[in-house]
Amino acid sequence: MKRIFLNVLMIAFTVSIYSCRETTQEKTEEAVEAMGEDIENAAEEAGDAIQGGADELNDEIQGNDDVMDDDA
């Protein structure tokens, strides 16, 4: 009886560990989501840098740029 109980307990333990492990598909989905977020953040940073450069160029063209006032 003790042997049967231990076998059932061991099978239950094995099944619980096996069912809780993370699959390769889940890991791949998480990696793809992380890459998508990184790409989105990089695109936003690039867009902000481009906008800042365009604003600076516009200020220079309009004569509103404060950077060159000290040298002139």
Residue 69 scores a pLDDT above 70:
no
For 59, residues 6+ apart whose C-beta sits below 8 A from its C-beta are 65
The 10s digit of each residue's pLDDT in 43-68 is 999 999 999 999 999 988 888 766 65
pLDDT at 67 (0 to 100): 60
Going from N- to C-terminal start, the domains of the chain cover 2-62
pTM (global) more than 0.75: no
pLDDT digits (tens, 9 = 90+) for 15-37: 887 776 777 888 889 999 999 99
